[in-house]
Structure 1
């Protein structure tokens, strides 16, 4: 009985550790992007619109990356495509479902409309390298 209790506590501890390592998706702001870039952090900007079917197909992969310890260092910023018009213009975003990867201040990749989970993860990995 004692062993079972200890194993249960260990499993709960691991679950909390995994959650602690994950980075939540943050709302986009120019200040958040500049701060992450100045710190040399890897960043993924997700230009999202709730009405966009492609964005809705991308979202589960991006949400899963936010919870995956392999992407714990990745800063994910979700830009509101419909309401952040000045910000999307400053980033050269002309379509919803645009994903932009940065390593620090350097843009290392940009895609529009991809929904394949492996391609999305590959883009995010380019920011981590």
Structure 2
């Protein structure tokens, strides 16, 4: 390796080492009844996206909801994707009539609900209102 590349590698390494550690945003987890119940029992904030792969409204909501994962107030939240076509028991239990429904729970208590909202400001406000 040439001296130039060695120097470049050292400079880059020192720059990365000097950068503050950035916490990774929470990731979306597929719905699992047992894990969901544990998060509720622990009093966690839970953001639920009831979606369907074929739903255009769900596709429009996705980037808005993904951006919320980096919201500092949601750094400890659990983000859960519920498949509208498969998780019928969850839908019945929470009285969800359609896909593109977004819920926020504080433990066992539902604190916010938005249905079919695709305007970024309004969807963001709806989710954050549940905190």
Equivalent-residue separation in structure 1 for 2:120 and 2:16 (angstroms): 33
CA RMSD of superposed structures (Å): 2.0
Instruction: Please say if residues 18 and 69 of structure 1, whose CA atoms lie closer than 8 Å, have aligned partners that are also in contact.
Output: no
| Larger gyration radius, structure 1 or structure 2 | 2
Relative distance call for 1:6 and 1:86 in structure 2 (3 A) is: same
Relative distance call for 1:10 and 1:116 in structure 2 (3 A) is: farther
TM-score, normalization by structure 1: 0.82
Within 5 Å, which residues of 2 pair with 1:1-129?
Answer: 6-11=14-19, 14=21, 17-19=22-24, 22-66=25-69, 68=70, 70=72, 71-128=74-131
Consecutive unaligned residues in structure 1, runs of 5 or more: none
TM-score, normalization by structure 2: 0.81
Relative distance call for 1:69 and 1:109 in structure 2 (3 A) is: closer
**Following superposition, which runs of at least 4 residues in structure 1 exceed 6 angstroms of deviation?**
1-4
